[in-house]
Amino acid sequence: MISFSPYKIIFMFSLLSGSFLVVSSSSWFSAWIGLELNLMSFIPLISSKENQLPSEASLKYFLIQALGSAIIILSSTLTFFIPMISLSFISLALLLKLGAAPFHFWFPQVMEGLNWTQAIILMTIQKLAPMFLISYLSSEYYTHMLLFFGGISSAIIGALGGINQTSLRKILTYSSINHLSWMLFAMLINETSWMIYFLMYTLISASVAFHFASAQTYFFPHLINANYGPLPKIISSMNLYSLGGLPPFSGFIPKWIITQEMIQSSFYLPLFILLLSSLVTLYFYIRITLSSISISSAQMKWDIPLKPLKILPSPLYTSINLFGLLIPSMLLVI
């Protein structure tokens, strides 16, 4: 976990300030400044002198984000001469910063070198600024087509990439890429839809990552060999099912909204691909939960009462992911 030292609190504050600067900016120059402030604040949060993996991850992240910023700067010079080509390159640079397919190659490698707290920031807060900038460009024709093909490729790669993975961080990485495809198509419809989806995705993915962080689980064997009781395992299963969009958990609500709006917008083929990819992501979520619940670690019986419970069920985990169970009853009342 990130220690709350004063300088890291300052970097976290400047990271949020950079994101808010991008969201509220009225020019590409101020948006670029916000992106750079966000980047330079995140690098010290993930770098470490004691471990080689975070340092390598921070270097990879810096190089990719610097490449995206350089493309934005070069493309902005062409705005007055070839505006459509310039906006297309800016959109590609923002997709690269997001880690959307087919520019996703850096995302799993960076995530593998982070702990769960840093992974939460990378999966949620770091996506906020580029997604707002892409939503501003979504009305342009060429950007519209780039978002269309980027959404389809992200759905396919996000679903197929996580099948053979044993690392929980890589599984959540490919799940994030798959969720990004839903948000890209939501941008093509209206702005409110992708903001609702992003908010729900942030809450649910944070609950999943915090649960894994409290259990110190990073790979499949950590879930199987965990010594805590069945209740935390059931809670983690509910978290993963909610993240996969399985009804009636909370993760199904934003997908339900996007599905209805894609049907109204006649996006039938992309919707079919998104739904198939969601089924594939549910497959490896179910594989995780079945193996962790059905297989117990070997331990001596006289050791069981002596070992304290490592994870206490938090109301945050259950309230966020079980909120979807209340929606049908609320609709009946209305």
Of 210, 214, 184, 216, which Cα lies nearest the Cα of 197?
Answer: 184
More confident residue, 318 or 135: 135
| pLDDT reading at 239 higher than 90 | no
Ranking 1-15, 174-188, 209-223 by mean pLDDT, the lowest is: 1-15
| pLDDT reading at 122 higher than 90 | yes
Please work out, in degrees rounded to the nearest 5, the angle formed at the alpha carbon of residue 66 by the alpha carbons of 60 and 69: 145
Q: Cα–Cα distance between 80 and 98 in angstroms, integer?
A: 26
Instruction: State the average pLDDT over residues 62-68.
Output: 94
Residue at token pair 């007055």: 80
Of 191, 82, 75, which Cα lies nearest the Cα of 134?
Answer: 191
- Domain spans, the chain: 6-297+305-333
Instruction: State the average pLDDT over residues 85-113.
Output: 91
Q: Which pLDDT score, from 0 to 100, does residue 289 have?
A: 82
Ranking 85-89, 114-118, 253-257, 319-323 by mean pLDDT, the lowest is: 319-323
Q: Cα–Cα distance between 284 and 221 in angstroms, integer?
A: 15
Q: Which pLDDT score, from 0 to 100, does residue 277 have?
A: 95
Give the pair of three-digit tokens for residue 265: 């917008």
In single-letter form, the type of residue at position 48 comes to S
Q: Which pLDDT score, from 0 to 100, does residue 306 have?
A: 43
Q: Cα–Cα distance between 318 and 53 in angstroms, integer?
A: 33
| pLDDT reading at 314 higher than 60 | no
More confident residue, 77 or 282: 282
Of 200, 198, 99, which Cα lies nearest the Cα of 153?
Answer: 99
- First vs last C-alpha separation in the chain: 43
**DSSP conformation letters of 166-209:** -BHHHHHHHHHHHHHHHHHHHHHH-HHHHHHHHHHHHHHHHHHH
| pLDDT reading at 273 higher than 90 | yes
pLDDT (tens digit, 9 = 90+) per residue, 30-57?
999 999 999 999 999 888 766 678 888 9
